[in-house]
Structure 1
């Protein structure tokens, strides 16, 4: 089975919070998780993205397929941390 890197929703109604997780492509959105590699909070004043880049690179090297949204978040995180 293929692994995917995707968002898993948390938080309360109207106040979403997403974990960036590695999971099997067949499992449910909030189902069994292989690894949690970060989080995304779109509701804060400045949207917060935090990633464990060593784990992200590890899973991508193993052939994990990120969703379109997760690809955008990884790109944004790299741009944010490049200036530091």
Structure 2
């Protein structure tokens, strides 16, 4: 099953997450199919904390990909901010 989830990057105590479409059997930071956005919880000032390519997200959901709970929360909060 394809799942859309966070993949951790960044330095120690400075997390940065890529939002990726991957097979659910792959490791968290392992191989992925496509990078569709990012989440930076440490964003400060004018930095952008969250971005996702909406058409690719819609495509993956259309072919049956499931959102992880955290990504679902971020996408829902992102829509409220954009509106």
Normalising by the smaller structure, the TM-score range is: over 0.9
1:51 aligns with 2:43: no
- Over residues 20-66 of structure 1, what are the superposed CA-to-partner deviations in whole Å (9 max), with x where a residue is unaligned? 00000000011111011100000113771101000000001111011
Unaligned runs of 5+ in 1: none
Alpha-carbon distance in structure 2 between the residues aligned to 1:33 and 1:80: 28
Unaligned runs of 5+ in 2: none
Aligned to 2:74: 73
Residue range with higher mean Cα deviation, 57-66 or 44-53: 44-53
Alpha-carbon distance in structure 2 between the residues aligned to 1:73 and 1:8: 14
The two structures have a TM-score, normalised by structure 2, of: 0.92
The count of residues paired between Structure 1 and Structure 2 equals 81
Q: What pairs with 1:24-35 in structure 2 (closer than 5 Å)?
A: 24-35=23-34
Aligned to 2:65: 64
Aligned to 2:40: 41
The alignment partner of 1:21 has SS state of: strand
Please state how far the C-alpha of 1:77 moved relative to its aligned partner. Answer: 1.3
